[in-house]
Amino acid sequence: MKKLINWQNAGNLMNFKGRDIISIRDLSKAEILFLLKEAEKFENKRGEFLSGKVLASLFFEASTRTRLSFESAMEQLGGKVIGFSDDTSTSIKKGETLWDTIKMVEQYADCIVMRNPVEGSARLAADAAEIPVINAGDGANQHPTQTLVDLFTIKKAKGKIDGLTIGFVGDLKYGRTVHSLAVALKNFNVKLCFISPQSLEMPREYLQELDEKGIKYIEVDKIEKVSRELDVMYVTRIQKERFPDPLEYERFKGVYRIDRKTIENSKKGVIIMHPLPRVDEIATEVDKMPNAWYFKQAKNGIPIRKALLSLVMK
């Protein structure tokens, strides 16, 4: 029987064999740093580490980056992938419960990676399965491997996480990646800046968690107010449909757009991150600047996922 772990009893368990990766809350600071170190080892490494192992890639909802990077990571480690990329052909459509689907799939695989739009479904899948389950996004709740990719990117770019000032820009109300990263960063000695229109500000419950940990943060409505302080700018997409008034959207979309001028007026060496896909919140002229880290961030999905797959299965 595998050990059930959640944020209440997260400890310094460096033995990840058989372990589920469901929420960033399940990981202690020591464990996060250990995973980042392991990922570094896997950056340019390929081989038969998981030869003979099978990954079930269950995507009940479409995804490009996450699914492809998991599948590519598994292939690079010598393992095989089975699964589906949307739920049109699954038995769930015939009324099968998620519990039963997982109980069936685990007979065919050594590890499950799952994306499902229902919040908490990854935890339920982990309860059902004896084999490790990795959450690749459960609705608006968690996407822990993306958060590890973000932390890995920050550490690679800046050489550290402690001591940095990190700004989040755009839709902070609905942005799952922002919520997860903020929860992870409460383990570190960082200063956070939340830059958003009032209608899309960071939800209170996350700020309360930061307060409990004594993390310093400020909330502002314009990038210029803090851009000279920021070591990292984590930009998110502002979706038009979030605004009841389309005029309000038109007004805000320019305010939170990062271009060459924004970077020239910011702290030297600031890195720009984005979970992608972007629409027009970062001008393409930024892509060639050394500050642009969003495509490297996407690339970092591979070493993080290789480290996780190899640790939970080996």
Instruction: Identify which of residues 98 and 308 has a Cβ nearer to another protein in the complex.
Output: 98
Can 251 be counted among the known catalytic residues? no
Q: Torsion over CA of 85, 90, 92 and 98, rounded to 10 degrees?
A: -60
Q: Which of 142, 153, 297, 310 binds another protein (CB under 8 A)?
A: 142
Q: Decide: 109 and 102 in contact? Cβ < 8 Å.
A: no
Q: If binding is defined by CB under 8 A, does position 313 make contact with another protein?
A: no
Rg, Å, the chain Cα set: 20
For another protein, which is the closer residue by CB, 6 or 189? 6
179 catalytic residue (yes or no): no
- Site string (262-301) toward another protein, x via CB under 8 A: ----------------------------------------
CA distance 50 to 72: 13
- Per rule CB under 8 A, is residue 227 in the interface with another protein? no
| Helix, strand, or coil (residue 189) | coil
Provide the β-strand partners of residue 84. 58
* Binding window for another protein (CB under 8 A); candidates: 31-39, 138-146, 153-161, 186-194: 138-146
Footprint of another protein on residues 118-137 (CB under 8 A)? 118-121, 123-124
CB of 143 to another protein, least distance (A): 12
145 interacts with another protein by CB under 8 A: no
Instruction: Select the residue interacting with another protein from 66, 85, 135, 141 (CB under 8 A).
Output: 141
The alpha carbon of 187 is separated from its chain's Cα centroid by a whole number of angstroms, namely 16
Is 228 catalytic? The answer is: no
| Length of the chain as a residue count | 314
- Clarify whether 67 is annotated catalytic: no
Taking the least distance from each CB to another protein, the nearer of 117 and 246 is 117
Residues 6+ apart with CB under 8 A from 23: 6, 7, 122, 123, 135, 141, 142, 144
In the complex, the smallest distance separating the C-beta of residue 301 from another protein, rounded to whole angstroms, is 23
Q: How far is the CB of 141 from another protein (least distance, A)?
A: 5
Query: Which residue among 2, 29, 45, 65 is the active-site one?
Result: 65
Is residue 147 involved in binding another protein (CB under 8 A)?
A: no
Question: Residues 72 to 101: which contact another protein by CB under 8 A?
Answer: 97-99
Is 305 noted as a catalytic residue in this protein?
A: no
| Binding residues for another protein restricted to 12-31, rule: CB under 8 A | 23, 25
- Biggest alpha carbon distance in the chain? 56
Residue 146 found at the interface with another protein (CB under 8 A)? no
Q: Token match 């991150």: residue?
A: 273
Element containing residue 199 per DSSP (H, E): none
17: left (phi over 0), alpha (psi -120 to 50) or beta: beta
The site for another protein, by CB under 8 A, has a size of: 21
CA distances from 256 to 139, 164, 221, 252, 283 (A): 25, 21, 9, 7, 11
CB 26 to another protein: min, Å:
10
Report how far residue 60's alpha carbon sits from residue 312's, in angstroms, rounded to the nearest whole number.
Answer: 22
Per-position b or e across 230-240, b if 16+ CB within 10 A of its CB? bbbbbbbbbee
34, 37, 87, 113, 302 from 40: Cα distances, Å = 10, 5, 34, 21, 11
Check residue 6 for interaction with another protein (CB under 8 A): yes
Taking the least distance from each CB to another protein, the nearer of 141 and 196 is: 141
Identified catalytic residue from 88, 93, 94, 268: 94
Q: Which residues bind another protein (CB under 8 A)?
A: 6-8, 23, 25, 97-99, 118-121, 123-124, 138-142, 205, 208
| Residues tagged active-site | 65-66, 94, 115, 143
